[in-house]
Structure 1
Amino acid sequence: MSHSHEDLPPVTTEVHDNSWSANLETPAHADDLDAVVEQAVDAVEMTTAGNHVNLVSHADHGHPETYLFDALEAAFGDSVSVEYVQQCGCGGHVTRVHREA
């Protein structure tokens, strides 16, 4: 079931001039894969060059390589590097996106 993306609070409202983690693992994210991808792109946009954001995605969507990697490459091209870090104990997944300097 898909919900309006406007109902989901933003993953961040500030530019991060450091490395940080974005929580894309809430129940609302579990229900809406499009929102996960949209907010992942937003999180990367809000991360300054030379830093990374860890995107923590819900287990319900499976491995992020199947839905997130291509979307990030399409949005950012060579200005980012995408790396799968690990699966969390809770089943979610951590993907690190580094903004190139």
Structure 2
Amino acid sequence: MALAGVKVIELAGLAPAPFCGMILADFGAKVIRVDRTKVFTTMDTQARGKRSVAINLKTAEGVALLRNLCVQSDVVLEPYRKGQNFRNPTLL
């Protein structure tokens, strides 16, 4: 596989990030999807080949855990528009 050994962290969101993560997983990357803790489960067609972890990003422990995952990864995919980030409570 072309991307074997590459670790990707994907912050769950809409459209581009999950699709990109799915393609990277298809090419052999290890993709870990970070979901919010209270997410309604629906059939996710773009979860193929990914692992998933639920983290509450509204707590200091959750943010620290996500930062630790990001430090250990090669790529971070985030779906937020310019100027926004995962700590903005309006996005969580």
Q: TM-score normalised to the size of structure 1?
A: 0.35
Bigger RCO of structures 1 and 2 (CA < 8 A, at least 6 apart)? 2
Structure with the higher fraction of residues in helix conformation: 1
TM-score, L = length of structure 2: 0.38
